Amino acid sequence: MKANFLRWLSPQDLTRVSSLQLFAKGVVEGLSGGMHRSHHIGASIEFKEHRPYVHGDETRNIDWKLFGKTDRLYIRQYEDETNLRSTIALDQSGSMRYSGSRSAGLSKHAFAVRLAASIAYLLINQQDAVGLATFDSKIQSYIPPKSRPNHLQLLFREMENSKPGSETDLAVVLQGLLHQCKRRGLIILISDCFGDPDSIIRSLALLRANYQEIVVFQVLDDDEVDFPFQARTLFRSLESASNEIIVDPVQLRSIYLANFQRNQLAMQQGASRNRIDWIQVRTSESHSEVLSSYLASRRNSR
């Protein structure tokens, strides 16, 4: 297990990730004390608000200084600090198998696994609970969130077994997560997000309505972003072996880029409307630098 772990995360990655922190933007639900705000009211170090005293309240929670000023009894309420429950949703559909000439042989799926491993390591390191869902046409495996250090080995083993396979319907998969993620928390989707933008955003909005905070890392190869092909090229579907076509990419390029940019804009605008963090990343980038940069911007916005 250790060898597989080091194959994904270099010592430099570990050093960088170990210095990071991921805070919940909103309130969370948990079982043990931690560094994230909870919607449960109770004793904690962070003051929230006053409310009038009612018969049966603990007298030790009365704010006597406020009583001296107002001659009325008020109870001090606090926000409970708790641990974050996160689920990493890892795309293993056939399109994730693609690797272009500028990715140093790294497929989108291999990049996604490295990013997922970094996030899992980070969350366990800060004593938060993290789970994993792998999917193609449906959710293939699901590991519920836990915070024990040895839970990380189970997550890595499942990532190691994850192989890009068949086609997917991301909107349907996201709806399936509704049945798995019933408690409020954080869902981290790592996928190329190929599919109908409206359907994908509707499904993400359903998860948001179910008290889930959502972060989407859209993993793309450079070739998919700028379509650099020049000579006549055979394009073959990675999700359907019988679907292939020879085209002149020079003539196709403007149409492809227009459709690609239209889809990207629709998904980014939909994510913004639903307060979803949408981060487009390329496989030619460093996954640890991508994570570090995102968490820095997240910390500033928080």
pLDDT one-digit tens code per residue, 54-83: 666 678 788 888 888 888 888 776 544 446
Half-sphere exposure of 14 (CA within 13 A, CB side): 8
User: Could you tell me the pLDDT band of residue 272, with boundaries at 50, 70 and 90?
Assistant: very high
Same domain, 58 and 89: no
Residue 183 shares a structural domain with residue 75: no
According to the model, what pLDDT value does residue 8 have?
66
Residue 9 and residue 121 in contact, taking contact as beta carbons nearer than 8 Å: yes
Residues 88 and 236 both lie in one domain: yes
- Looking at the fold, whether 274 and 176 belong to one and the same domain comes out as yes
Task: Say if 29 falls within a structural domain.
Answer: no
Judged against a pLDDT cut of 90, whether residue 30 lies above it is answered with: no
Residue 149 lies in a domain: yes
* 61 and 170 part of one domain: no
Q: Of the candidates 60, 82, 104, which is a domain's last residue?
A: 82
Residues 133 and 61 in one domain: no
Q: Looking at the 3D structure of the chain, how many domains does it have?
A: 2
Instruction: Say if residue 186 is in the same domain as residue 282.
Output: yes
**Model confidence at 32: pLDDT above 60:** no
- The verdict on residue 216 lying in a domain is yes
Check whether 84 has a pLDDT greater than 90.
no
The per-residue pLDDT for 255 is: 92
Instruction: Single out the residue in 47, 82, 117 at which a domain terminates.
Output: 82
Q: What is the CATH number of the domain that holds 141?
A: 3.40.50.410
Residue of 134, 143, 83, 142 whose CA lies nearest to 112? 134
- Local confidence band at 252 (pLDDT 50, 70, 90 cut-offs): confident
Q: Are residues 234 and 152 in the same domain?
A: yes
Q: How far apart are the C-alpha atoms of 141 and 9, rounded to whole Å?
A: 23
Looking at the structure, tell me whether residues 49 and 125 fall in a common domain: no
Tell whether 30 is covered by a domain: no
Task: Note the pLDDT of residue 109.
Answer: 96
Does the residue 253 lie in any domain?
Answer: yes
Residue 167: other Cβ atoms inside 10 A: 16
pLDDT band at 110 (very low <50, low <70, confident <90, very high): very high
User: Do 277 and 288 have their domain in common?
Assistant: yes
**If DSSP codes are grouped into helix, strand and coil, which group holds residue 38?**
strand
Asked if 153 and 116 sit in the same domain, the reply is yes
Which pTM value belongs to this model?
A: 0.78
Domain-embedded: residue 18: yes
Q: Which of 5, 6, 212, 19 is nearest to 126 (CA)?
A: 19
Indicate whether 112 and 186 sit together in one domain. yes
- Structural domain contains residue 243: yes
Q: Which domain holds residue 51?
A: 36-82
- Best CA proximity match to 112, nearest among 218, 194, 13: 218
pLDDT in tens, 184-201: 899 999 999 999 999 999
Residue 157 lies in a domain: yes
